[in-house]
Amino acid sequence: MVHCDVYFFLSVSKKNDDDIIMNQNIISFKMFIRNIFSDGMLSAIICIPLLLAAIYRFVFPLIVQHYPMLKDFNLYYPILDLFLAIMCPYMICFASVLVVLDETDMKINRYITITPLGKKGYLISRLIIPVLFAAIVSFVLLSFCSVSDMSVWTTFIISILATILSVVAAMIILAYAGNKVEGMALAKVSALVMVGLIIPFVITDSTQYVFAFLPSFWIAKFLISNNYWFILPAIFLSGGLICILYNRYSTKI
């Protein structure tokens, strides 16, 4: 079926009709969905956030009920919410990256990117569309499973920032991994961009700004202080990293 879809891309590549380009985006995204659910590991990966949310919603309250002393650590509950916020888009991005690397191994992406879909269209169907879906799911999960009682507006902003941060992690893997095995190894390295989420909670003096180069640091600062100015460095740092990493990745395909 994948080969049939690739043949369709090539058969219409000489046409410039917008409807055909739209059809190619749809087919490319369908290929992505089919690859996800035909792989047991990838299916399990995207289910992890749902399992984590269920634990937050049903198990965590029971644990606190049996161990009341945990309420004394409620200042650290936002860390749990940040972890949930980042887990959904990160896992979906990770699954997307593995699909892209698998298609790279099979040279499928080279056939697709020479069609009107192009490199950008290929990444849109493989990364951007899944990321937009992940942002929505992240917002919904946080809204119903938050343990720190964030406001709806704060939940929305955190979901968006966490999703953008996940794209940074995904682009690190795509930019430097040559195959699926390397991608799985680099996933551990890319996760380091999330270290900043806990820094403002554990380092309360000015030393914490040593980690100011991490977008995740500013996401945590925003959640703690509710200062909207902290959103700007989070977006600018993430955007800059995404542009740099995309330029490197685009030379590989």
Give DSSP secondary structure letters for 165-213: HHHHHHHHHHHH-SSHHHHHHHHHHHGGGGGGGTHHHH--SGGGGGGTT
Integer Cα distance of 141 and 62 in angstroms: 19
Interior CA angle at 165 toward 124 and 210, to 5°? 150
Identify the residue whose tokens are 């554990």.
Answer: 202
Query: In whole angstroms, what separates CA 215 from the centre of its chain?
Result: 14
pLDDT digits (tens, 9 = 90+) for 35-80: 788 888 888 888 899 999 999 989 988 888 888 887 777 888 899 9
Give residue 128's pLDDT. 86
Question: Residue 78, Cα to own-chain centre: how many angstroms?
Answer: 19
Domain parsing of the chain, residue ranges: 2-250
Structure tokens, 182: 């390397």
| Residue that wins the pLDDT comparison between 21 and 85 | 85
Q: What is the pLDDT of residues 75-129, one digit of tens each?
A: 888 999 999 999 999 999 999 999 888 888 887 777 666 666 677 777 777 888 8
Phi and psi dihedrals of 149, rounded to 5?
55, 55
Contact between residue 156 and residue 141 where contact means Cβ atoms under 8 Å apart: no
**Structural contact between residues 98 and 107, judged by C-beta atoms closer than 8 angstroms:** no
Within 10 A of 88 (CB to CB), how many other CB atoms are there? 29
d(CA 84, CA 82): 5
Q: What pLDDT, on the 0 to 100 scale, is given for residue 21? A: 56
Note the residue count of the chain. 253
pLDDT above 60: residue 12? no
User: Global pTM?
Assistant: 0.85
Report, in this order, helix, strand and coil percent for the chain, each rounded to 5.
85, 0, 15
Report the chain's mean pLDDT, rounded to a whole number: 84
Confidence band, pLDDT 50/70/90 cuts, at residue 4: very low
**CA 242 to CA 168: how far, in whole Å?**
6
The residue type at 166: S
Extract the tokens encoding 29.
């995204």
| 77 within 8 A of 147, measured Cβ to Cβ | yes
pLDDT digits (tens, 9 = 90+) for 141-196: 999 998 888 899 999 999 999 999 999 999 999 999 988 888 888 988 888 899 99
Q: pLDDT-based confidence at 8, cuts 50/70/90?
A: very low
